[in-house]
Amino acid sequence: MAKCPLPRPLLYLIFCLAICLAVCPLSVQAEGQISGNGLGQVKSHYTVVIDPGHGGENKGTESGTALEKEMTLVTAQALYDELSRYDNVTVYLTRWEDPAQDIKMADRAGLAAQVEADFLFSIHYNASEEHTLFGSEVWVPLKAPFNVYGYRFATLQLAQMEELGLFVRGVKTREGSKGDYYGILRECAALGIPAVIIEHCHVDEPRDASFCASREQWELFGQKDALAIAQFLGLKSQELGVDYSTLSYESLGLPEDVPVALTLKDETPPQLCRIEALEVDYEGGTLTCQVTGYDPDSPMMYYAYSLNGGESFSPLQPWPGSRTALGEYEESFPLTLEVPEGSVPRVVLRAYNMYDGMTVSNLLEEYERFPEKETQTPAPRPALEPDVKPVSAVPVPDPLPQKTDPLSDPLILVLGCGGAVFACLIFILAARALAGRGRGGRQPRNRRGDSSSQPR
């Protein structure tokens, strides 16, 4: 019998390597780096299926007068139009209109399998029971390699949402009794098709509602999704003049390797939430405390504070430095709060992780009552002179008109002079009349001077 030319130790090494490659290929692929594009392979042609969520009697959530099933269809159609402008990609929709009945998840996944899709993207909008949550998130499958493919796409898509100004809630997964909780992810994984659910924003929270209030904004989401898909697949477009075939995650500021742990659901609340008093300004009405939070399983995402010992809390606030898609956040930060005047603050804080797990902090109640700010009073009136009597509250009649100097008014002066002249004229005329009357009363004289002679 011929002997093997290889040394026995080398044979053992080759045998062990073969066993490792045969048993754990998916885990190695999931936890390592993915070369080429987000799918770890470069193809000459790609097939993509866009799935507008809900439809028919399944209306989804509501945004004012709009229904989610209407919003998702507009976004999906805009995504289709934009992605179709790229080369070497064929795009399908699971529905082009609102069907009479909602399409089953198995049928949606079946269409993707029928066209041999490389990826399915399910389009959605979000809402919360208490109407307090805000931000964008992407749901991915539980198992490798589909969770990694989903994570790779999600980091690109969420970067687009963050660029619009939305808060990022992260890349998430949820386990159900049959595997993936969400049916579209579960059905696609069973057929070997990578898939994700894109929750663009929360329609029922004011900070998010302003991003999805019009049809134009729904279409903009679709255009942003198309850009993320093009980057993910490394597509080119002669029409648009872009080439993402050589685009690297590093150039986008995204991690090159993907820890699988980031897509595993965290069932526990944050491990630590502590607040410490730093300074207080009673005159200015503020206090500052140091907030510390820590969670080894998922990044911190929100916080809310109370000034009355937990009887009521502020709206949720973004945790400083939180980049949930990358697992980053600030473990400690100063927080300055405005305190209502006349109150004694009792400060407590809630900390939330990426899966909305919540931990309550210790209670700070070492403060005194904050003073009430003095109201500004009008300036005092000047003191009255000693010989002036105080004004009575009894109504005073209107004062009599004051006398004026006739010579100070030009009109009166003119009228007065005119009247004097007129009076002089009357006087002269009267004198002349009297003189004429005196001459007419004498007896006529005889030229001879004998006024009494009678004819003989």
Of 232, 193, 250, 192, nearest to 42 by C-alpha is 232
Same domain, yes or no: 352 and 298: yes
Identify the three-state secondary structure at position 189. Answer: helix
Tens digit of each residue's pLDDT (9 = 90 or more) over 178-228: 888 999 999 999 999 999 999 999 999 999 999 999 999 999 999 999 999
Same domain, yes or no: 101 and 207: yes
Same domain, yes or no: 249 and 314: no
Note the Cα 125 to chain centre separation in Å: 16
Same domain, yes or no: 115 and 179: yes
pLDDT band of 7, cuts 50, 70, 90: low
Same domain, yes or no: 258 and 334: no
pLDDT confidence of residue 135? 97
pLDDT band of 409, cuts 50, 70, 90: low
Residue 369 located in a structural domain: no
Report long-range pairs for 209-215 (Cβ below 8 Å, ≥24 apart): 209/63, 209/64, 211/164, 211/165, 211/166, 212/63, 212/71, 212/125, 213/63, 213/64, 215/74
Same domain, yes or no: 253 and 283: no
pLDDT confidence of residue 421? 59
Residue 247: which CATH number? Answer: 3.40.630.40
Of 136-150, 237-251, 409-423, which range is least confident? 409-423
Tokens coding 198: 């894109």
Of 260-274, 287-301, 357-371, which range is least confident? 260-274
Of 24-28, 52-56, 153-157, which range is least confident? 24-28
Residue 276: which CATH number? Answer: 2.60.40.650
Q: Please state, in angstroms and as integers, the Cα–Cα distance from residue 286 to each residue in 59, 337, 363, 367, 381, following that order.
A: 46, 6, 17, 11, 36
Tens digit of each residue's pLDDT (9 = 90 or more) over 101-126: 999 999 999 999 999 999 999 999 99
Greater confidence, 400 or 263? Answer: 263
Same domain, yes or no: 235 and 116: yes
Decide which of 243, 263, 283 is a domain's last residue: 263
Residue 126 located in a structural domain: yes
Residue 95 located in a structural domain: yes
Interatomic CA distance for residues 166 and 95, integer angstroms: 28
Ordered DSSP codes for 222-249: HHHHHHHHHHHHT-EETTTTEE-TT--T
Same domain, yes or no: 280 and 255: no
Q: How many domains does the chain have?
A: 2
Decide which of 326, 360, 394 is a domain's last residue: 360
Q: Kindly tell me if the per-residue pLDDT of 342 is higher than 90.
A: yes
pLDDT confidence of residue 125? 97
Same domain, yes or no: 289 and 250: no
Same domain, yes or no: 86 and 163: yes
Ordered DSSP codes for 424-449: HHHHHHHHHHHHHHHHTTSPPPPTTS
Domain range for residue 314? 272-360
Residue 373 located in a structural domain: no
The mean pLDDT value of the chain amounts to 81
pLDDT band of 32, cuts 50, 70, 90: very low
Decide which of 218, 243, 263 is a domain's last residue: 263
pLDDT confidence of residue 14? 44
Q: What is the mean pLDDT of residues 378-399?
A: 52
Q: What is the mean pLDDT of residues 416-430?
A: 61
Number of other residues whose CB lies within 10 A of the CB of residue 412 = 13
pTM for the predicted model, two decimal places:
0.74
pLDDT confidence of residue 396? 46
Interatomic CA distance for residues 33 and 271, integer angstroms: 30
Tokens coding 104: 């089953």
Q: Across-strand partners of 276?
A: 290
pLDDT confidence of residue 394? 45
pLDDT band of 236, cuts 50, 70, 90: very high
Same domain, yes or no: 254 and 281: no
Identify the three-state secondary structure at position 51. Answer: strand
Residue 450 located in a structural domain: no
Residue 353 located in a structural domain: yes
For 126-158, letters b (16+ CB in 10 Å) and e give bbeeeeebbbbbbbbbbbbbbbbbbbbbbbbbb
Same domain, yes or no: 111 and 190: yes
